[in-house]
Structure 1
Amino acid sequence: MLVTFGLWSLQAKDTQTEMNKNATETLRVGVVGLVHTHVHWILGREPQDDIEIVGIVEPNRQLAQQYSDQHGYSMDIVFDTLDEMVKATNPEAVTAFNTIYDHLEVVEYCAPKGIHVMVEKPLAVNLEHAKKMEALAKKYGIALLTNYETSWYGSNYKAYEMVKKEDKIGPLRRMLFHTGHPGPIEIGCNPEFLEWLTDPVLNGGGALTDFGCYGANLATWFLEGAEPLTVSCTTQQLKPDMYPKVEDDATIVLTYPKAQVIIQASWNWSHNRKDMEVYGTNGYVVCKNGTDMEILEDEKKGSYPLTAKALKQGYHDPFALLQKVVKEGYQLTPFDVSSLENNMRVMQILEAAKQASVSGKTIEWKQFFSN
């Protein structure tokens, strides 16, 4: 039994021709891993016509059964290995919800077979893995996308429009990101997720990796892929009894010729948050969440609230985008938040931030990456 999920629906057509056309546009997707709880995003989507989940890879049968009971997919489409799933179901693309460390293995298997890949953020566990993934994607011509929750916030796109296209606040000078939550244990992450999320090898770090990537991704988008001049980073273990192997708090500071970016990534916030503040020479745009915003264009006139509209159907979630890229040849704009070029820059930023934290010194970008 196959379970179909989707994002955008076409208007009903009576002719068999239109029905057949719609069927050919459906993307056959395999889900690799269930140990990343963001997998509920794809498993819980309302049934539509853009994607069809044809197989799931998860050797933990108990976990697979648990999610089967929750979401209603048949255990007949669950396989122990990626090789078994691909040979049995022939997916056109896969979405990786396994450990960050295992993203490379997914691309190593899928790229030579022409199977497109979308991974959950960040792109890779470290820059070395990311470079190998990039090389494989380019060699075999597959799409390699990275998914972030914030990629689908209407507020972030409205902010981009106001700052980059409408010049509402003047030239960009400063960006602040506050990302994280009270901690993965505190918010009740399941054991299968915690096992690797708090492991420095499988996750590449703690809060720095988990939440530092969000700000790096959005800043790279706004700054059109610009390389920072310097990278500074301070990390702390505020809860070593709970997270003995990794940092639970990180502050990254990026300097650019005419702007500064501050990323506060933490498992020590009082609440769940993914918000952004963008400051220009004469005003600011604050994205409090995915919809609520506060805008200041002129200090004399004061600020005003704004509610961002949801993104256009077909472009408002990762799986619809994957369908458009693979089936319709949709081209991402340069340094789009989901793009490989953006997320290679993110991996560079995280790599430099880790080194800055270890050394206690500010990293000079060009010197660091010329070595």
Structure 2
Amino acid sequence: MIRIAFCTALLFLTQLANAQSAKKPLRVGVVGLVHSHVHGILNKAFRQTGQTDIEIVGIAEPNRELAERFSKQYGYPMSLVYPTIAEMLDKTKPEAATDFGRIVDHKKTVEACAPRGIHVMVEKPLATSFADAKQMEALAKKNNIQLLTNYETTWYGSNHKAYAMADKEKAIGDLRKIVVHDGHQGPKEIGVNKEFLDWLTDPVTNGAGALFDFGCYGANLSTWLMHNQRPLSVMAVTQQIKPDIYPKVDDEGTIILTYPKTQTIIQASWNWPFARKDMEVYGQTGYVFTVDGTRMRIRLKDEKSERNAEATQADAPAADPFAYLAKLIHGETKPDELTSLENNVIVMEILDAARQSAKTGKAVLLKQKL
């Protein structure tokens, strides 16, 4: 009896220890502070009381002045800051790294993290070229790490509800047209900080202007809705409406993707009168529009007019990307298609072709796999 009781107690303590271990925050290293989306993770880690999703164990940022400025703003100690990725990774041993640096540097982050077995989440888009994306994909697969791309729109309940209506419920019939609008008045116009503006408006460090900055959203959502089907062709037109503000890059871009029976139009702009991230999905028998993260407009077969609908945060895979990252790495949720590597390599193929099309004025035909 004593032996049975001892074994039972030991089993209970083991289960309790495992449960407590599973609840430990994900150890995260932040790579770069020059992307303004970094405020999301800094706010969550250092200001959101009671959150147990993540713990920032180190920050790699060579710009000491920028790191000190954010240290004063968020209250983190400067002892967390390291001048290089390698030093931060080796000294702090994070489970995952979140990249808030220049898009062109995403590959360097993967090159540093993958051999160390550290998972990576980068801000959208995945890379500045399709070639870099393929190299990053190979590194991630070779070292068996998660390589995710974060988009704000992944956490919109409206997008997931629209997908469910189109795909699982078949409520609007076969897809015929997808129209995605993304952008704002312009990065300088909305007052992004200098460190962000400097690289965002450089074609080498960002890949393009609005074409990449906001065209990636539509490519990501279209690839998702089309079940990772690559388009047959990519056609893009770009403009410099404000060359005095953005002399090196486009500030207006439109991309047309053709599929066998569907067409996607992506409207990416730094010239919208207001910030927007919305989508129109048309089927043979109805349509569903997303207005923002929750609001929707729907019209189905035999309905005489459209109606409003509401999605909730519960329709999305998680409340925010970092909560999702922690659950994924700890095995508490399944991979999300919008953040997936497979989707985002196709996104980069589309963006690379769009950049080429805008330069040549010709549609780019994508080679189809046999």
**TM-score (normalizing by structure 1):** 0.91
Name the residue aligned to 2:5: none
1:21: how far off? 2.8
Q: Distance in 2 between matches of 1:314 and 1:297?
A: 26
1:18: how far off? 4.3
Q: Which runs of 5+ in 1 are unaligned?
A: 1-14
Matched, 1:339 2:337: no
Q: Deviations over 1:134-170 (max 9, x none)?
A: 1100111110000000000000001011111111111
Q: Distance in 2 between matches of 1:91 and 1:73?
A: 17
Q: Distance in 1 between matches of 2:287 and 2:265?
A: 15
The alignment covers a number of residue pairs equal to 353
Q: Distance in 1 between matches of 2:218 and 2:128?
A: 17
Alignment of 1:50-129 (within 5 A): 50-129=53-132
Name the residue aligned to 1:22: 20
Name the residue aligned to 1:5: none
The question of whether the paired residues in 1 share the 8 Å contact of 2:201 and 2:249 is answered with yes
Q: Deviations over 1:174-208 (max 9, x none)?
A: 00011000100000010000010000000011000
Specify the SS of the correspondent of 2:214.
Answer: helix
Structure 1 residues 65 and 20: alpha-carbon distance in aligned structure 2, compared to 1, 3 A threshold: farther
Q: Distance in 1 between matches of 2:252 and 2:87?
A: 40
Sequence identity (%): 56
Name the residue aligned to 2:34: 35
Q: Distance in 1 between matches of 2:159 and 2:316?
A: 16
Alignment of 1:137-216 (within 5 A): 137-216=140-219
1:315: how far off? 2.1
Name the residue aligned to 1:250: 253
**TM-score (normalizing by structure 2):** 0.91
The question of whether the paired residues in 2 share the 8 Å contact of 1:153 and 1:311 is answered with no
The question of whether the paired residues in 1 share the 8 Å contact of 2:185 and 2:272 is answered with yes
Q: Deviations over 1:95-148 (max 9, x none)?
A: 000000100000001100101100000001111111110110011111000000
Aligned Cα RMSD in Å? Answer: 1.9
Alignment of 1:223-242 (within 5 A): 223-242=226-245
Q: Distance in 2 between matches of 1:158 and 1:19?
A: 38
1:16: how far off? 10
1:319: how far off? 1.1
The question of whether the paired residues in 2 share the 8 Å contact of 1:231 and 1:353 is answered with yes
1:87: how far off? 1.9
The question of whether the paired residues in 2 share the 8 Å contact of 1:143 and 1:325 is answered with no
Which of residues 316, 322, 329 is equivalent to 1:319? 322
The question of whether the paired residues in 2 share the 8 Å contact of 1:152 and 1:311 is answered with no
Name the residue aligned to 2:4: none
1:51: how far off? 1.2
1:24: how far off? 4.3
Q: Distance in 2 between matches of 1:291 and 1:65?
A: 36
Name the residue aligned to 1:351: 352
Name the residue aligned to 1:8: none
1:341: how far off? 0.1
Specify the SS of the correspondent of 2:274.
Answer: coil
Specify the SS of the correspondent of 1:315.
Answer: coil
Specify the SS of the correspondent of 2:204.
Answer: coil
Matched, 1:283 2:286: yes
Residue 19 of structure 2 aligns with an amino acid whose one-letter code is K
Q: Distance in 1 between matches of 2:269 and 2:82?
A: 35
1:299: how far off? 5.3
